[in-house]
Structure 1
Amino acid sequence: MNLQAIETAIRAFLQCRDGQDLVFPRPGEAEVDETWLTKFAYFGPLVSEFNDSLDAGFEQENFTLDKKIVDLRNAFAHGRLFTDFEKFPARLWKFGTKNSNGKILVEFSELLTPEWLLKNHNFAAREYGKVLRCFKRRKYKGLR
């Protein structure tokens, strides 16, 4: 949930940064204008755009997002969850593209133990908090 929320918060931040209102489409609308909230954008470039938007000094020191959040989010969004047991822990794999040897790169492989899940839940919550605190510091409206 925090991984999905952080993307929305970054998009809202960028929308406000550009002086646009935070307006979501109404249910049932078939077409909408392109905004930071609606346009197709990969998560990694969104994180970079957010980090590049931070003012030097306090904002960069306190709100810069750790790029590891991209790997974590992408693993959950695009990875494969597998267990050969009937219960957890499962392993989360994310595969990349084919290399010059014709082999697929393994980009992510983690055993989802309770400790690992808690550690990464807390990490994602901290990164999400950075976006919210910067949003509030700039007095942008629309996120809680």
Structure 2
Amino acid sequence: MNKIAFVFPGQGSQKVGMGKDLIENYPEAEILFSKANKALKEKRVDISKICFEGPEEELKNTINAQPAILTISTILYKLLRKNKIKPSMVAGHSLGEYSALVASSVIKFEDAVKLVRKRGEYMQSAIPLGTGSMLAVIGLEKMK
């Protein structure tokens, strides 16, 4: 028996236009986008519009990227399940852990959308846009 694992992505996997083909071809996608938009209603966020039209800077914004990626990941999970593809296990990288929790029925999708939006708000307030940086150090010799 083959075992399958689903590993859900973290932030950085977003791109403008993601999910547009899904909503055009699968009613399940429209339902989940609608649920995500409803969950974010008080924030006045239309996550489907941000996913489909951008602009890229708005989608890359942590407070939008996180619910967008969660929504797309959940849609893809549901479509795989609909086609009888069932994972033996699920995991996620960083933000993807929340998609794994939804896939495992540990938390409801709508609650996860609100949670990752709040997570994004906290992350963004800790390091405002344009103030952080990252460094990769390559080629150092091992020290004994």
Q: Which one has the largest radius of gyration?
A: 1
Q: Which has a greater percent of helix?
A: 2
Q: Which has a greater percent of strand?
A: 1
The higher-RCO structure (CA 8 Å, 6+ apart) is 2
Q: Normalized against structure 2, the TM-score is what?
A: 0.31
